[in-house]
Chain A
Amino acid sequence: MKFSHFLIKYGEIAVKGKNRNIFEDALGKQMRLALRRVDGSFVVEKKTGRFYVHCQGEYDYEGAVEALQKVFGIVGICPVYVFEDNGIESLKENVCAFVDEMYRDKHFTFKVQARRGNKKFPLNSMEINADVGEALLNAFPDTQVDVHHPDVTVYIEVREAFYVYSTILPGAGGMPVGTAGKAMLLLSGGIDSPVAGVRIAKRGALLEAVYFHAPPYTSERAKEKVVDLAKIMSSYTDSFKLHIVNFTDIQMEIYEKCPHEELTIIMRRYMMRIAEAFALESECLGLVTGESIGQVASQTMQSLRATNEVCTLPVYRPLIGFDKQEIIDEAEKIGTFETSILPYEDCCTIFVAKHPVTKPDPEAIRASEKLLEGSIERMVQEAVKTAEVISIKPQ
């Protein structure tokens, strides 16, 4: 069956009281942006507290569904059959035709669930359920009614026209991007940070990101890979700015002056400081990392405390309680995994000590950082000042 309309169900945002309009407008905007990249001509319409997507002429059905499934705030996407209100008889006829076409094998149980939005319609919901149910049983003797656990639920909405659907494709859930504040993501080329970024976007946040580049230790291709990851993310997060910081000098300075087993922790503290500088400049309300407790030496609770203490903004760590496999599963789902595992060194791994500290003492770390005084401040300023900004747009 070819559908020309989708009914869009949204969950959480329906209960947001007076802010409801803000949320709905953001959702509409994100849907329109998502559909712009799909082959076809689409109109997104907000009507009586629901969203409809009207598809004009031939269009890429799979592509449209896929695009809508990446829009946060949507809980269900229903391909819907719409026809004119010509009374109950025509409704019965059309529902039978719909069911006939959708379900070749008629051995199933069903129920009819009608909603009467147009109160002028002569039958109420219960009466519609009964009438249409009876018509279906007569037309398809192999079917049975089961109101508790039906195989098929036929939804009927009586509005200015009849809307019939029986499929609800799952949406991404969450809140529409743009309804929360902005957050600065520390994006590496790894598996975790893109997932963390998308998770934060799922709660409505807009993103910016910062990537630490260390030429010649990390290659131009490693940077390209991060840009590619950001582009994949942006089909969920909307367009965002990616700051690319040249981190080589800072890394070298730490390498030369600080105890080697503390290198990673101190490096990460400087990354946080630089990320926060960009965050404050761009009016972000927090930082986002892909850290998860205990995953590596720099992500023990002690290490997290040591890196956390240099920031004044809250640091959001949406993956903090995730296992690696759970993160991988999600990376596969959002489509970043294949790119993340391309084998280019990133600056976190290249100088890593054989036995890095796993329980850094904040006092000791601060003492080591004293060794950098006099040179590092200028390097940090320079790194912030010379950062390249790339504007990431979904493709």
Chain B
Amino acid sequence: MESCKKEIYLDNAATTRAFDEVGERVRDCLCRSYGNPSSLHGKGLEAEHIMRESIQVLADILKVPRESILLTSGGTESDNLAVLGAAQARRRKGRHIITSYLEHPAVLAPMQQLSEQGYEITYIKPDSQGVLHEDDVTDAVRDDTVLVSVMAVNNEIGSVQPVSAIAHKCKEKNPNVLIHCDAVQAFGKIPIFPRRQGIDLLSCSSHKIHGPKGVGALYVADPRMIRPILYGGGQQRDLRPGTENVAGIAGFALAARMVTDQMDQTEAHMRSLKELLIKGIASIEETHVHGSDFDPMWGAASIVSASFRGVSAEVLLHALEDKEIYVSSGSACSSNHPRVSDVLQAIGAAESDLGSTIRFSFSALNTEEEIRDTIRALKELVPVLRRFTRK
């Protein structure tokens, strides 16, 4: 599995390196089983079989019927289809939607779109640890509420949301409410079973779990819950037309199978890395770990978000990069537009921490030695960078 280099990749919440097996599987599909699943001939049938088997793998992991899985181009499309599609399908039942300040832009931007079309959006605030309280969400549910969208694991600080409790309580208050969960950072890392948890729509992405980019899935409990956002040639029961990304889905399914089989071991492994890193960061002066202070058992095992006061996050990021250690400042999707993180603000992070927060995110491929090297690099760089700051 290990391919040569000494680089230390700690930006797995942004994307992951594909497993070698996944790369081979994708290549095989692209170059050998390249048929169009809709074609009537044998080549098409072969591709269709691969696709069906792959969808079955995902369905088995989520313990849902195969028909409830839609293939998409990734997390963003899944979130868009869930939010816009559900709002459209339920437009006669009401125009009130509940979401949170923690959500990814792939959820927040379509919400913004809906609010311009006359929908009313209620944004729930998390507590200081970045966790939503089910009562806060339930209290916001009204008769005309049609959708509640909350994520499973926050991408910036790793807080885990009580999705199941939120889903059940909201539905108790208003059975018409649909529950969407953005599980992009959770799928394959923590157990997710939408039927048991009361989730109607669930977004997953392949490239966060060592699969190829450009492919994702949306679980839809009942096809009547959404309307399509793309129109075309009838594939996937017209809910998401377009020639299926057979190679992508095959790679996604293989990656999902691999991470799921190893989920417990990986969780324990990443938890120990998290503990190691947090201890290391704690030994550097003037640092702060977001969420539950320095408690490695808090939140997702895969994410550590910490601020190094007096150091510009971007500068520290590039200094680490110089040592071939790759991390993220804030959340990668927004890093092209340096701005203060909404999530950090929502959890009430200190002003001085906003511009100095680095996110470290792990995968099964990281090692203890890498974390030790990273701590060593931080201990060396942070004091130097603090010396050279704007006076």
Chain A residues packing against B (C-beta within 8 Å): 215-217, 219-220, 252, 255, 260, 343, 345, 350-354
Residue of A with least CB distance to B338: A343
Residue of A with least CB distance to B389: A351
Question: Is the beta-carbon distance between B318 and A216 smaller than 8 angstroms?
Answer: yes
Question: What's the dominant secondary structure at chain B's contact region?
Answer: helix
Residues of B within 8 A of A219 (CB): 314, 318
Question: Is the beta-carbon distance between A351 and B322 smaller than 8 angstroms?
Answer: no
Q: A216-B319, A216-B321, A216-B322 are in contact. Are A353 and B314 (CB under 8 A)?
A: no
- Residue among A217, A352, A353 with the highest chain B CB neighbour number at 10 A: A217
Within 8 A of A (CB), among B314-371: 314-319, 321-322, 337-338
Minimum Cβ distance to chain A for residue B8 (Å): 16
Question: Is the beta-carbon distance between B321 and A351 smaller than 8 angstroms?
Answer: no
Residue of A with least CB distance to B391: A260
Q: Out of B322, B338, B388, B389, which one reaches A215, CB within 8 Å?
A: B322
Q: A343-B337, A343-B338 are in contact. Are A217 and B391 (CB under 8 A)?
A: no
| 8 A-B contacts (beta carbon < 8 Å) | A216-B317, A216-B319, A252-B388, A260-B391, A350-B315, A351-B388, A351-B389, A353-B390
Q: Which are the 3 A-B pairs with shortest beta-carbon distances?
A: A216-B318, A216-B319, A260-B391
Q: Out of B318, B319, B338, B388, which one reaches A220, CB within 8 Å?
A: B318
A216–B389 CA distance with the chains assembled, in angstroms? 12
A343–B355 CA distance with the chains assembled, in angstroms? 15
- Tell me how many residues of B have a C-beta within 8 Å of chain A: 14
Question: Is the beta-carbon distance between A216 and B315 smaller than 8 angstroms?
Answer: yes
Minimum Cβ distance to chain B for residue A266 (Å): 15
Question: Is the beta-carbon distance between B390 and A351 smaller than 8 angstroms?
Answer: yes
Residues of A within 8 A of B388 (CB): 217, 252, 255, 351
Residues of B within 8 A of A345 (CB): 314
Minimum Cβ distance to chain A for residue B297 (Å): 33
Question: Is the beta-carbon distance between A217 and B315 smaller than 8 angstroms?
Answer: yes
Q: Out of B322, B338, B391, which one reaches A353, CB within 8 Å?
A: B391
Within 8 A of A (CB), among B31-90: none
Q: A255-B388, A352-B390 are in contact. Are A215 and B318 (CB under 8 A)?
A: yes
Residues of A within 8 A of B321 (CB): 216, 220
Residues of B within 8 A of A252 (CB): 388
Residue of A with least CB distance to B335: A221
Minimum Cβ distance to chain B for residue A240 (Å): 27
- Residue among A216, A217, A350, A351 with the highest chain B CB neighbour number at 10 A: A216
Residue of A with least CB distance to B323: A216
Residues of A within 8 A of B318 (CB): 215-217, 219-220
Minimum Cβ distance to chain B for residue A100 (Å): 45
Residues of B within 8 A of A354 (CB): 390-391
Residues of B within 8 A of A351 (CB): 388-391
A259–B189 CA distance with the chains assembled, in angstroms? 52
A215-B322, A354-B390 known, 9 other contacts, Cβ within 8 Å: A216-B315, A216-B321, A217-B315, A217-B318, A219-B318, A343-B337, A343-B338, A351-B390, A353-B390
Residue of A with least CB distance to B381: A216
A168–B315 CA distance with the chains assembled, in angstroms? 52
A147–B76 CA distance with the chains assembled, in angstroms? 64
Minimum Cβ distance to chain B for residue A335 (Å): 21
Residues of A within 8 A of B316 (CB): 216
Minimum Cβ distance to chain B for residue A248 (Å): 10
Minimum Cβ distance to chain A for residue B227 (Å): 36
Residues of A within 8 A of B317 (CB): 216
A194–B333 CA distance with the chains assembled, in angstroms? 29
Within 8 A of A (CB), among B298-324: 314-319, 321-322
Within 8 A of A (CB), among B373-391: 388-391
A215–B318 CA distance with the chains assembled, in angstroms? 7
- Residue among B314, B317, B322 with the highest chain A CB neighbour number at 10 A: B314
Residue of A with least CB distance to B339: A343
A354–B389 CA distance with the chains assembled, in angstroms? 12
Minimum Cβ distance to chain B for residue A223 (Å): 11
Minimum Cβ distance to chain B for residue A199 (Å): 30
